[in-house]
Amino acid sequence: MKRKKLDLIKQAKELAKKTDNFRETSEKMNGLMDAWKSIGSAGRDKDDELWNEFNAIIVRASRMKEQRSSQSVMKSRRRASVSRMP
């Protein structure tokens, strides 16, 4: 169980590095979370430690996505305001 969860953590870390297609990355992260749930326990103490590491990666990737989305909206607004200038 522990080895499978460590493998999912490794996969999540690799996915978190990809910022070119957040929709695809999010779908794959969701798949990793589903796989995590289906694996079973690696022992209570170890499971908590592994989950904290895995979840932190998921949260960071989600925040990056939100940040990128906010930046995209701001750029679009700037372009729109510039194009309306006489």
What tokens were used for 73? Answer: 């909206």
C-alpha–C-alpha distance, residues 51 and 45, integer Å: 10
Q: What is the pLDDT of residues 25-75, one digit of tens each?
A: 888 989 999 999 999 888 888 989 999 999 999 888 878 766 666 656 566
C-alpha–C-alpha distance, residues 57 and 51, integer Å: 10
Global pTM value: 0.69
Q: For residue 31, how far is the Cα from the chain centroid?
A: 11
Query: Exposure pattern of 6-28 as b/e (b: 16+ CB <10 Å)?
Result: eebbebbeebbeeeeebeebeeb
Radius of gyration (Cα) for the chain, nearest Å?
Answer: 18
